[in-house]
Structure 1
């Protein structure tokens, strides 16, 4: 790795700043960090990393929140991507991030499901095959972390998810609630936030063609091809042919890519024409390639200009050395292909009913979407929200939106509306990765979601 000594110095400063220790030794001081493994099933290990905010505000009326971040993919690493690319204290050059969500909450990253990031299975039969199985593993991890730590129990936990992580979040939210109700989990669930989340694959694939036609990225022929495959996917979902629907989704992505000359699925105002292309490469290849695009794209992201190699080099290099507990034979992201492959039968299943259940139980549910995202386009998100059976839906839909700003800048950055426990944020100028594209509005949003006692920026 280039400039290895510079990175080592940065990591050593990082350790001194946050007083990092090895697994399971939980420091109680603000600004500390801890990490470790939980063997959630025999020979199946989930890795977690907890940061305690140095910006904590003591307010008895508003407890300091904890945000549990769930990455998408499936197979994308929250410990790597969410932490170093999006919201953690340091960016991928190990420089302080001035928009870190630690300004509003403590942060808990989990490499979920087993096989993601630093998490690993000792047997290939141990990878989860459904969202519910992933939820059960996450619940086991929280029982291990929270039940023996009264300090953690005092603070409300907010599950914040991105992309496929949203499907994990709603199934996990229900699993955690059940464990809380049964007395197996000592935790206060503050809410669930779904960022550009793959909640209803059918609604997203039907949004792609019309949206891109309106944007002049598809012509009539491209629209017809797209709609034809979307209809095929709908029928396959109705027939319970979920693996086949994943095949058709892969084919549709290829059609969209070729007909649009490689529009970027994560920002439709851009296209993939460089070395990190995820839609131009591998066109026409297997569904496994398509399922992996999200995590492959993010794991190949380079740090900012002048940086030192890719994210994988960072996580498999100085960060692995810092953590000290990652087994020698475990490579960050080394099992991610098994994660996506094993979930191909669940990949296209909707989770709208789970959102309805959370709302009916009184859980605060926040939906937020980047304006220029394609893979989980706002058009598709609005479509699945309108399918909710929640009793407050019509009142929510008829409410007016409130514009959002950042600081003294009165340029419109987004819109917001809410009714009872359903909240929706439209984030202007953002693609799939809202905290990266609009860090100020994302930081204010998470402060509002968590009711953080920290002041708004």
Structure 2
């Protein structure tokens, strides 16, 4: 059946055992997958899915790592998007992904915060309203998964985040460290990886206008309008008016869409594919951002495969995957996701630079990577917030020269990287917001180096 034949077979035919009405923990017969719900608070249920790598290498000097993948949104599903669209073992056609990150680590996907994907709440008052609350819920989930599993405790956990997930990642890392120090959580934190992450909204909104002007998607008028709204956002953030800042962010996205003829916020070389500018601000907050996620990733599949890709992710997750995982009948994948964004509206524009500083000061390895063509979390904005760090090693980091990145048999430079002490950064060329989907070879090589996986040395180019 091949290496992934058993995975596909189990996906279609395996039926897990239940513990009560909601499956607290289920697994495939061969133990290669585990999943279930953790009640992180009364009536607040978070779904997780763990894959154990068939490529595992035993090396006493280099323990086998686990990657916890955190999606953004807020309200985007890691179990769905990160898993099937980016780094998991199967793609949305349920075909093996040759660039899966299982080649270098075990993978843990979580639908975070509660209300995202398959996760759900029984009471609307239980949605999280801050990144810290999300981090606390995730810490509770890790306690449930790791504390009774000595095998997992031997592997360093790397929190890898994308987009808004970066804000969850830094608050989770600090919460997890407190739990570890208090003896409540049994795991070793390997590091935090921030991929195209929304760490400083102010720096990103100020990057949009100049970047788009430089690549001819905005003219001087568009630049002026963009900068004026960005200034308003800056003032609102300084005054603690975060809900108002979120509404101004929506206005700015709409303005840029009109002025640029609908530039794609996930790859500024492309058009978004629909008239986002025609939506009102409230419509933008009610799921348009997630639809852009799906549309852009679908366009990646159509460009990379002769058949143009398979069915939609929503149909997959509410069809065969829901059946395989025995998700409760009344739970719809993504059914509460719009509410997740709405409830985080007051935290959405808050920066998390201080949390990055705190992690660096504690000696935690922090890696930042950015796709060259990303707009929503543009490299220009990422570099701006990094320069605001108060970390004692910042000067040495900024003055360090970069080294070139190559991968497989592709010709030409594919990126750059540099490190100083426990801060590392990767610039990935030719990629937009979703680096693993757009540059899978160099992304896999990068994460192999970050995790110091014992399998990293044997990686070969995989499309």
Conserved 8 A contact 1:76-1:294: no
Normalising by structure 1, we get a TM-score of 0.93
Give the distance between the partners of 2:16 and 2:69, measured in 1 at CA: 19
Deviates more, 1:108-117 or 1:407-416: 407-416
Partner of 1:38: 38
Deviates more, 1:217-226 or 1:296-305: 296-305
Partner of 2:451: 450
- The alignment partner of 2:276 has SS state of coil
- Pick one of 289, 300, 317 that aligns with 2:284: 289
Partner of 2:195: 195
Give 1:143 deviation, angstroms: 0.4
- The alignment partner of 2:67 has SS state of strand
Partner of 2:120: 120
Conserved 8 A contact 1:246-1:287: no
C-alpha distance after superposition, 1:248-287 (max 9, x if no partner): 00000011000001000000000123xxx3xx23535124
Map of 1:101-180 to 2, 5 A cutoff?
A: 101-180=101-180
Conserved 8 A contact 1:288-1:340: no
Give 1:289 deviation, angstroms: 1.5
Partner of 1:321: 323
C-alpha distance after superposition, 1:92-137 (max 9, x if no partner): 0000000000000000000000000000001110000000000000
Conserved 8 A contact 2:158-2:189: yes
- The alignment partner of 1:411 has SS state of coil
Conserved 8 A contact 2:8-2:94: no
Give 1:409 deviation, angstroms: 3.5
With over 3 angstroms needed to count, the CA separation of the structure-2 counterparts of 1:248 and 1:27, relative to structure 1, is closer
Give 1:298 deviation, angstroms: 2.9
Partner of 2:82: 82
Give 1:24 deviation, angstroms: 5.2
Normalising by structure 2, we get a TM-score of 0.92
With over 3 angstroms needed to count, the CA separation of the structure-2 counterparts of 1:165 and 1:145, relative to structure 1, is same
- The alignment partner of 1:321 has SS state of helix
- The alignment partner of 2:45 has SS state of strand
Deviates more, 1:176-185 or 1:285-294: 285-294
- The alignment partner of 2:453 has SS state of coil
Map of 1:330-345 to 2, 5 A cutoff?
A: 330-345=331-346
Give 1:291 deviation, angstroms: 6.7
- The alignment partner of 1:248 has SS state of helix
How many residue pairs end up in the alignment? 443
Map of 1:130-279 to 2, 5 A cutoff?
A: 130-273=130-273, 277=274
Give the distance between the partners of 2:44 and 2:285, measured in 1 at CA: 26
C-alpha distance after superposition, 1:379-404 (max 9, x if no partner): 00000000000000000000000000
C-alpha distance after superposition, 1:159-193 (max 9, x if no partner): 00000000000011100001001110000000000
Give 1:231 deviation, angstroms: 0.3
Structure 1: state its 5+ residue gaps.
1-8
- The alignment partner of 1:189 has SS state of strand
Structure 2: state its 5+ residue gaps.
none
Give the distance between the partners of 2:248 and 2:378, measured in 1 at CA: 19
- Indicate whether 1:393 and 2:389 are aligned: no
Give 1:295 deviation, angstroms: 1.9
C-alpha distance after superposition, 1:387-441 (max 9, x if no partner): 0000000000000000000024441000000000000000000000000000000
Give the distance between the partners of 2:154 and 2:255, measured in 1 at CA: 50
Deviates more, 1:391-400 or 1:409-418: 409-418
Conserved 8 A contact 1:24-1:34: no
With over 3 angstroms needed to count, the CA separation of the structure-2 counterparts of 1:18 and 1:382, relative to structure 1, is farther
- Indicate whether 1:309 and 2:311 are aligned: yes
Give 1:317 deviation, angstroms: 0.3
